[in-house]
């Protein structure tokens, strides 16, 4: 098996190096660390579900902590929602988290399904952080994070039962990505994607979407691109849900918190003006 380990073999372009650098140096991000400290699940995605607005009525000394806990609860709910869509995963199944961040979703997947989970990230810092979390819990045997590129993972052809991307596809070319996923997945294997995509009914990238791209050094794709790239790679959607109404409350609450970063405003503008969607796509690899 091809096992890429050196930075030059993993980071194939100046763009990928700059993305890796962003996540390698983003080590004091209270919006993610303080939420993760709540219970040890460190996420790099947003939240869904109804907000318990009573957190805002807490006495001032307790309010910020209550909001942080509530934001974390909603991020956790988002990951639960994604994992449920993977379908009937068995202990002998094998899962891939493509763009695994600090590891939260994979950790939940391993606990839920008891199966082997591999995460890949082009940030060596994130891979190290996530592996420490797995080791701390004694999961190191079956939960592993790798410094690898999701466009070229080096894992064996047809070896994976299900793959997910939790807000990571905006960093890569979707045709290349789904080519790699189609290679990795068994026939009938599942792919689950949660992403932000722009609305190509209303035209190109809105200003708000461009502001989000600039903040994270990413390249948000139009909605149509997902379906073209899946169709080109034997990935057949079975469910598509617009989660936009479910994530707006998370962003409204995030504006009220000490850990707000400023990106709340473009997210809320983009969602409310309709130029951007928070989308769940569930697809199966079908080759007949
Ligand atoms: C970051 O999550 C997520 C991305 C960089 C992908 C962009 C997502 C879109 C839906 C467009 P994070 O938890 O690291 O972000 P933050 O630090 O703002 O909480
Ligand atoms: Mg976050």
Cβ proximity of 274 and 250 under 8 Å: no
pLDDT at residue 6, rounded to an integer = 80
Q: Is the CB of 98 under 6 A from ligand 1?
A: no
Question: Which residues have C-beta under 5 Å from ligand 2, the single-atom ion?
Answer: 32
Tokens coding 31: 């919006």
Q: Is the CB of 205 under 6 A from ligand 1?
A: no
Give the number of the ligand closest to the Cα of residue 216. Answer: 1
Rounded to whole angstroms, the Cα distance separating 153 from 209 reads 29
Centre of ligand 2 from the C-alpha of residue 46, in Å? 6
Centre of ligand 1 from the C-alpha of residue 263, in Å? 9
Nearest CA to ligand 1 atom 12: 44
Q: Which atom of ligand 1 is nearest to the CA of 75?
A: 13
Nearest CA to ligand 1 atom 8: 167
pLDDT at residue 1, rounded to an integer = 47
**pLDDT string in tens for the chain (288-residue length):** 445 468 889 999 999 999 999 999 999 999 999 999 999 999 999 999 999 999 999 999 999 999 999 999 999 999 999 999 999 999 999 999 999 999 999 999 999 999 999 999 999 999 999 999 999 999 999 999 999 999 999 999 999 999 999 999 999 999 999 999 999 999 999 999 999 999 999 889 999 999 999 999 999 999 999 999 999 999 999 999 999 999 999 999 999 999 999 999 999 999 999 999 999 999 999 998
Q: Which of 121, 126, 167, 194 to mutate to test the pocket of ligand 1 (most atoms within 8 A of CB)?
A: 167
Strands 276-285 and 185-198 turn out to be antiparallel
Tokens coding 202: 């209303």
Crossing angle, helix 207-216 and helix 264-273, to 10 degrees? 150
Q: Is the CB of 75 under 6 A from ligand 1?
A: no
pLDDT at residue 202, rounded to an integer = 86
Centre of ligand 2 from the C-alpha of residue 7, in Å? 25
Give the number of the ligand closest to the Cα of residue 263. Answer: 1
Domains and CATH numbers, the chain: 7-285 (3.40.50.150)
pLDDT at residue 7, rounded to an integer = 84
Centre of ligand 2 from the C-alpha of residue 135, in Å? 23
Q: Which atom of ligand 1 is nearest to the CA of 261?
A: 18
Rounded to whole angstroms, the Cα distance separating 182 from 98 reads 13
Q: H helices of 152-261, where?
A: 174-184, 207-216, 223-231, 244-254
Q: Which atom of ligand 1 is nearest to the CA of 101?
A: 14
Strands 235-242 and 276-285 turn out to be antiparallel
**Which of 126, 107, 278 lies closest to 193, judged by CA?**
278
Q: Which of 26, 30, 44, 212 to mutate to test the pocket of ligand 1 (most atoms within 8 A of CB)?
A: 44
**Which of 258, 127, 275, 147 lies closest to 213, judged by CA?**
275
């Amino acid at each position: 098996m091809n096992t890429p380990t050196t930075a030059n073999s993993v980071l194939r372009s100046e763009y990928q190096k700059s993305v890796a650098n962003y996540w390698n140096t983003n080590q004091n991000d209270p919006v993610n660390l303080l939420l993760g400290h709540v219970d040890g699940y460190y996420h790099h995605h947003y939240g869904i579900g109804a907000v318990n607005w009573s957190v805002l009525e807490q006495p001032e000394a307790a309010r910020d902590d209550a909001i942080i806990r509530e934001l974390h609860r909603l991020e956790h709910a988002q990951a639960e929602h994604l994992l449920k869509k993977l379908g009937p995963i068995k202990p002998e199944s094998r899962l891939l988290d493509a763009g695994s961040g600090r590891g939260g979703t994979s950790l939940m997947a391993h606990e839920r399904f008891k199966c082997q989970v591999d995460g890949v990230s082009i940030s060596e810092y994130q891979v190290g952080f996530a592996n420490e979390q797995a080791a701390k819990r004694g999961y190191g045997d079956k939960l592993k994070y790798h410094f690898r590129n999701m466009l070229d993972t080096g894992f064996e052809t047809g070896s994976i039962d299900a793959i997910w991307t939790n807000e990571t596809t905006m960093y890569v070319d979707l045709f290349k990505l789904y080519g790699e996923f189609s290679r990795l997945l068994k026939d009938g294997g599942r792919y689950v994607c949660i992403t932000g995509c722009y609305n190509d009914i209303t035209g190109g990238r809105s200003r708000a979407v461009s502001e989000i791209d600039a903040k994270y050094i990413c390249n948000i794709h139009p909605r149509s691109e997902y379906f073209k790239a899946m169709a080109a790679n034997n990935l057949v959607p079975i469910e598509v849900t617009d989660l936009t109404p479910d994530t707006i409350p998370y962003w409204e609450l995030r504006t009220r918190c000490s850990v707000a970063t400023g990106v709340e405003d473009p997210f809320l503008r983009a969602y409310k003006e309709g130029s951007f969607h928070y989308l769940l796509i569930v697809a199966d690899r079908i080759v007949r």
